[in-house]
Structure 1
């Protein structure tokens, strides 16, 4: 049976920087063919034009679909499911689907839609990414322009207009698999650390909280979380059901050349290992001790002709034997990815111990 196509749901309030994050991801997609579904509302077709105009070969105009009749979670059957079915019926299926949705409604009903017959066999929710305006959240505002968010809310009669932004924000955090604290260039180091610590304690166990400026996140941190979110809805508590609408971004569309100074990766090598289970436990401890975001690679296990593939996203580790080593040297090679400042020597020593 062919592997399911992973889909990432990106949510967050107007102005948090979702479109900037997605545009950056598309420009650095490393050859991945990404299809994008944007849940627009009203006639503000801003995101689609920005993203279509970014001239990226791996994401053509056909790969960007705008849903324009309002709330994605109110119109799952009428709008979202047919869009997904059209996308999945294509000859050249995408490698990954990214869905940008508004922060005014819960992502939960959308994630539930992935259990729909015909969709559930072909697509899985790779993860829910909540983008947070770091400056606004630190100041207790949750959005840079609260009036704009309220105006956005007023356009959609399906929305509960009474719910305070703080509660909508809590719901976004409750559903997230990764929280991207954006605009950290507007915070001091201490403020950023305090805010990320607070969000980590508010989120579910194992949720990764990462800092970013101008939405610049490496694609292999953002995508490939492998969560299968549609299968664990009970963990993603909703405070209430407030329906929804969409549009987005901090209209600061100057092009910046972003390298990923905030993130780093390095390779750790070692020889064969004796006990795969013991080594997996060792890796889990190293990840936990050093706050590593991703760890992936191949392991040579003594007496086994096949190489063992290891992929870790935060505390979750998957291993499977994938192919014989053949003529390649029987060695263990792991790539470590995390926020800048990782202690290379200590991590290498711990993985080689």
Structure 2
């Protein structure tokens, strides 16, 4: 069976920086063919035009699908499903799909739509990313201009949920696999730490909360989470029920701008004895050092097959992928990715034990 195409859902209120984040992602895709589904309100189509007209290498007009008929979570069957089917039916299908929801869209109905029979076997939700406006949120507002968000709501008569911003925000956090505090450079250290701590208390266990300036997040952190969010709806249920109808590889980032907010390094060690014990050890190191992603391979004593490990937060997947070739070194090699300031020596030491 062909591998499912991964899709990343990006949520967040108007002005949080979703478009900036996506633009940076596409500009630094390193040849990965990314298709965009943009859910913009009204007739302006601002986000779609920004992305179509940006001259990004490899981002063609046909790679940007704009849904301007209303709130994506209220028009899943009419608009979203046909759009995603059109993308995955292409002769040259995308490597990855990025969906930017409008700030007023509830993420849960959209993620549930990936269970629809027509697309379930062909596409999967790689992860849900919630972008928040750091300075506004630290001052008790959900967006820099809440009046503009309310005007956005009034302009769309397809919305069938009268949801206060506070409840929408809670639902975005409840569904998120990663939360990005954008405009972090405009926060002081104390406000930044306080906001990070607050958000960590409001998301599910294992959800990363990280900082960004101008939407700059390393694609190696954003893409390839491999979570399959549509299979985990119980864990990300709506805090508030608004809808009546519930049926509805390592990259080279050397030349990418702004990636100094993140760092990655490789840890090598000898063969391991017990995969289960090693996974628990890796999870403990991830928790202790706030590592965002960890991936790599391990050699297990007495086993001819190579063990693959992938971790997003403390959630670890491991499986034997192929036999070691004669030219392969039987060693364990892990790539560690996190925000700048990781204690490399301590992490290396903890993974050697």
TM-score interval, normalised by the smaller of the two chains: over 0.9
Name the structure 2 match of 1:170. 170
Shift in Å, 1:126? 0.9
2:242 counterpart residue number: 241
Task: Encode CA deviations 1:21-80: one digit per residue, 9 max, x unaligned.
Answer: 000000111221111000122111111121112222332211110012112122211111
Bigger shift: residues 16-25 or 94-103:
94-103
Report whether the alignment pairs 1:291 with 2:290. Answer: yes
1:13, 1:331 → 2: CA distance? 46
Q: Aligned partners of 1:217 and 1:322: how far apart in 2?
A: 29
1:1-353 matches, cutoff 5 A: 1-159=1-159, 163-238=163-238, 239-241=240-242, 258-326=257-325, 327-353=327-353
Question: Residues 252-309 of structure 1, C-alpha deviation per residue, up to 9 Å, x if partnerless?
Answer: xxxxx83222211111111111222211111111111111100011111112222111
Aligned equivalents of 2:101 and 2:275: distance in 1?
41
Partner SS for 2:148: helix
SS of the residue 1:91 aligns to: coil
Task: Please give the alpha-carbon distance, in whole angstroms, between the structure 2 residues aligned to 1:224 and 1:285.
Answer: 22
Write the distance in 2 (CA, Å) between the matches of 1:316 and 1:161: 33
Preserved CA contact (<8 Å) 1:9 1:129? yes
1:313-338 alpha-carbon deviations (Å, 9 max, x no partner): 10111111222221121111111001
Higher mean C-alpha deviation, range 71-80 or range 128-137: 71-80
Distance in 1, matches of 2:295 and 2:45, equals 39
Where 1:119 maps in the other structure, the secondary structure is: helix
Alignment partners' CA distance in 2, 1:174 and 1:292: 21
TM-score, normalising length: structure 1:
0.93
Cα distance in 2 for partners of 1:38, 1:318 equals 31
Change (3 A) 1:163 1:73: closer
Kindly report the root-mean-square deviation, in angstroms, between the aligned alpha carbons of the 2 structures. Answer: 1.5
Say which SS state the counterpart of residue 328 (structure 1) adopts: coil
Verify the 8 A CA contact 1:299 1:307 in the aligned structure 2.
yes
Specify every segment of 5 or more residues in structure 1 that has no aligned partner in the other structure, as ranges: 244-256
Q: Secondary structure of the residue that 1:199 maps to in structure 2?
A: helix
Shift of 1:160: 6.2
Distance 2:174 2:278 in 1: 32
Question: Aligned with 1:131: secondary structure?
Answer: strand
Regions of 4+ moved over 3 Å: 158-163
**Structure 2 unaligned runs (5+)?**
245-255
Q: Report what 1:252 is aligned to.
A: none
Following the alignment from structure 2 to structure 1, what is the Cα–Cα distance between the partners of residues 96 and 319? 22
CA contact (8 A) 2:74 2:159 kept: no
SS of the residue 1:14 aligns to: coil
Whole-Å Cα distance in 2 between the matches of residues 62 and 139 of structure 1? 40
Which range moves more in the overlay, 42-51 or 156-165?
156-165
| Distance in 1 between residues matched to 2:172 and 2:78, nearest whole Å | 24
> Is the 1:183–1:212 contact (alpha carbons within 8 Å) kept by the matching residues of 2?
yes
What's the CA shift for 1:242?
6.6
Contact 2:18 2:100 in 1 (8 A): yes
In 2, the alpha carbon distance for the partners of 1:30 and 1:316 equals 27
C-alpha distance 4-161 of structure 1, shift in aligned 2 (>3 A): closer
- CA contact under 8 A between 2:162 and 2:242: conserved in structure 1? no
Shift of 1:161: 7.8
